[in-house]
Structure 1
């Protein structure tokens, strides 16, 4: 199968590497430094099951792609619209676009631009890019995708490549649950440059997480989204299951890249304002990250 990974960062490179190792024809589209490293020596894939270089093809130019059968769309939320517009002329009528992005509104934004099938996904992988063309897998890796006529075949393809993939009838609830996890953890991890396990050793962090989640749940209810009753407990327990993981927002700030905070806590703040729901904790977390972005104090 001809597959394009649009946004070859930690998430895109992890799933791209899994598909490459399963024998698929994968092209990675990413930043120049990563592209140069991958084309020179392959994708450096580091995980518990395999460490080595995976032969791969990479480019910075979406327009140069052979029309793919499947797109793994993994760009940052702020780049969704512009990247989709660039991608549109390259796609076949039946190309499947799988959104592997944070937040909850990217699939809708993609569907407004593309006529191809767009499938939403919730991504559960701990991964990072320690250097150019180097993906390090720290744990998990499963996907939950939305129901569609193409979803069973897609789930089989991903599962056969070693990516546990389930289909959810209510993908909105799944994505909102993931969004709430991100709202609880990403900003705190990012501002301190600290992993989840160490973060929870600081007095007051569980209280901040609880307040952020409580606000998110109120906003979700106002938006008509039904979420599990134990979501707060599960969110508080996430640090124990991923103690060494830093958030994607933390990784963005360390690399001097714009974060997605406006599409995480900022999304909750906007939706809260629409529905008259106060979201002071999420607003404070959003502003904290924006301050660190402005100062550049986390840049490596």
Structure 2
């Protein structure tokens, strides 16, 4: 790897930063892994007042001792950052970017709440629909939603590998355009193109819908970029997305289009609608492959590399639970969720037969 830029100065200091800060807000990134690490390093490099918080002591020590390395396209960019374990955090923050796995949301909120003041905001950079839960815990007036659409992986303490650049979308839960969402957008724009929007839950649910497709890549032990192009399983993917979009509609959410994803064709059951949905899936495959060196998804890495449970319960599982509550059938998502639980427990292998079983289940649904 070729070193691109190294920042001088101590891990706890401000020296050596670019003087391009866009705000005086005191910020924390809570969870400095794949997503939080990229966002936090980008903010620190721009001179923002940001603390990276993580529960992994080796990661915190590496960041403080040597900086945080973001590896992209064969080049390393090392940035001096301030990092701490949750128990070492002191004071309050104006903005907290929450970037922990969904299963750790409540534990993180318990640790974050003492560090909020009346006008603080927590911005969810997570997968799943966590914003309503965050709002119940700390108040809707202190909760901001975000869709993260870039690819990265935690590789080792102090090292994040970044792949596809992507975009970020941020917005108030009630759809208002506010000065603070522009501040948040500006902070996030240090890491990639960022937008404000007035239908943030529509974007969050859009990623949920697309996440049902991403999950299929961990049912087999294959190159995820190539697997997405395999049209044999487009009918399965289309049904998974259709169920999710229908659940979102029952929840009162209008699923948004973003990047290469458009929800509309998945609700059209005509032959023309089917082909239009397949074309969207083709575009998603092309979009994921463009400029992307990451051939495995986070789902696969959690199971095979990190040896831990995935976030499937908070994505596919949430779709199934919402469907039950609203009376919307989600048979294929339910089956996929069951498969994941069995793969995670070691009772089911990653194999092509899993996709074939989903395909057979879809055929039975259609009868």
Q: TM-score, normalised by structure 2?
A: 0.74
1:59-208 → structure 2 map (5 Å cutoff): 59-62=84-87, 64-104=89-129, 106-115=130-139, 117-147=142-172, 148=176, 149=178, 150-159=180-189, 161-185=190-214, 187-202=215-230, 204-208=232-236
Pick the aligned partner of 2:83 from 41, 49, 58: 58
Match of 1:248 in 2: 298
Q: How far is the alpha carbon of 1:25 from its aligned partner? A: 2.6
Match of 1:9 in 2: 33
1:23-34 → structure 2 map (5 Å cutoff): 23-30=47-54, 31-34=56-59
Task: Note if contact 1:96-1:118 (Cα within 8 Å) is conserved in structure 2.
Answer: yes
5+ residue gaps, structure 1, are none
Which runs of structure 1 show a deviation greater than 6 angstroms over 4 or more consecutive aligned residues?
A: none
Aligned-partner SS, 1:258: coil
Rounded to whole Å, the distance in 2 between the matches of 1:247 and 1:62 is 31
Rounded to whole Å, the distance in 1 between the matches of 2:195 and 2:96 is 18
Pick the aligned partner of 2:72 from 11, 35, 47: 47
Query: 1:263-284: CA deviations, max 9, x gaps?
Result: 1111111112222322121112
Rounded to whole Å, the distance in 2 between the matches of 1:294 and 1:198 is 26
Structure 1 pair 27/153, CA: closer, same or farther in 2 (3 Å)? closer
Pick the aligned partner of 1:234 from 280, 287, 290: 280
5+ residue gaps, structure 2, are 1-24, 256-262, 267-276, 351-367
Name the count of aligned residue pairs.
Answer: 295
Rounded to whole Å, the distance in 2 between the matches of 1:271 and 1:213 is 14
Rounded to whole Å, the distance in 2 between the matches of 1:87 and 1:206 is 42
Pick the aligned partner of 1:292 from 343, 352, 355: 343
Q: How far is the alpha carbon of 1:230 from its aligned partner? A: 4.3
Rounded to whole Å, the distance in 2 between the matches of 1:141 and 1:93 is 33
Match of 2:325 in 1: 274
Structure 1 pair 111/200, CA: closer, same or farther in 2 (3 Å)? closer
Mean CA deviation greater in 54-63 or 210-219: 54-63
Task: Note if contact 1:209-1:236 (Cα within 8 Å) is conserved in structure 2.
Answer: no
Structure 1 pair 10/110, CA: closer, same or farther in 2 (3 Å)? same
